[in-house]
Amino acid sequence: MLLSLKHNFLFVHIAKTGGTSVRATLSKYRYQGPWGVPMFLANKLDQISGHRIGAKFPRHAKAIAAREMLPAELYDGLFKFVFVRNPWDLQVSSFFHIRKERPHVLEGVETFEQFVRLKFDPERPWNYMLDTSRELQRDYVVDLRGNRIVDFIGHYESLQEDFDTICDRIGIPRVALPHRRKAEGRDDFRRYYTDETARMVGEHYREDIEMFGYRFDG
């Protein structure tokens, strides 16, 4: 999550949706304005304390966390935006990312099918690297009653175009997004699925698919 009081925006960062590139581009606006120094000091104190004092929002905090913590008039006045991604594509991206960055998490897992079965095994203990992208994207944009509480939902599939819209809305220059954490050697996501694993992902992310209009074939 990235908050800029000067430019009046809140970026809700869902894992594996292009958010690292968005965050890298917008980070320079984070500490601008009269509240910049207190926010910077709070961030550093939180890091020094091992995140024990809760002085900043976690990287992948949900919108409801900001709504609960910020004054209502401040939250309501922010331009709140998020990016989402086709759930089937997201799982392939997650597989390649973990295999590259944290291979020990996938010890004994050789194929994408094994990855999906491990990830959605209800008997397996929770693991941050596996389960951050197991959460529903829908939960990042709604309150406890299921009401949408963000202003703009961008899509990974139109990342630059939607980011341009965001830049126009918050009054900053348009800029080409860097491509951070690009996966190497991966094919179209559909090629990694069997009928069974496609069904497993579709069932788990049914609410995301309904809310954001995604399909397996497009």
Q: pLDDT confidence of 217, banded at 50, 70, 90?
A: confident
Least confident of 4-8, 57-61, 177-181: 177-181
pLDDT exceeds 80 at position 22: yes
Question: So what's the pLDDT on residue 159?
Answer: 97
Question: So what's the pLDDT on residue 140?
Answer: 97
Within a domain: 32:
yes
Within a domain: 54:
yes
Within a domain: 192:
yes
Q: pLDDT confidence of 98, banded at 50, 70, 90?
A: very high
Residues 6 or more apart whose CB falls under 8 angstroms from that of 162 comprise 83, 152, 154, 155
The H or E element spanning position 96 is helix 87-101
Name the residue among 115, 92, 100 with its Cα closest to residue 187: 92
Question: So what's the pLDDT on residue 128?
Answer: 84
Yes or no: say if 133 and 91 are a contact pair by the CB < 8 Å rule. Answer: yes
Within a domain: 60:
yes
Question: So what's the pLDDT on residue 104?
Answer: 92
Domain that holds residue 77: 2-212
Within a domain: 99:
yes
- Residue 27 or 47, more confident: 27
User: How many domains is the chain built from?
Assistant: 1
Question: So what's the pLDDT on residue 38?
Answer: 73
CATH number for position 178: 3.40.50
Question: So what's the pLDDT on residue 129?
Answer: 82
Within a domain: 218:
no
pLDDT exceeds 70 at position 183: no
What ranges make up the beta strands (E) of the chain? 2-4, 9-12, 79-84, 152-155
pTM for the full model?
A: 0.87
Within a domain: 217:
no
The per-residue pLDDT of the chain, averaged, comes to 90
Question: So what's the pLDDT on residue 47?
Answer: 76
Tokens of 176: 């080409």
DSSP annotation of 70: S
The H or E element spanning position 178 is none
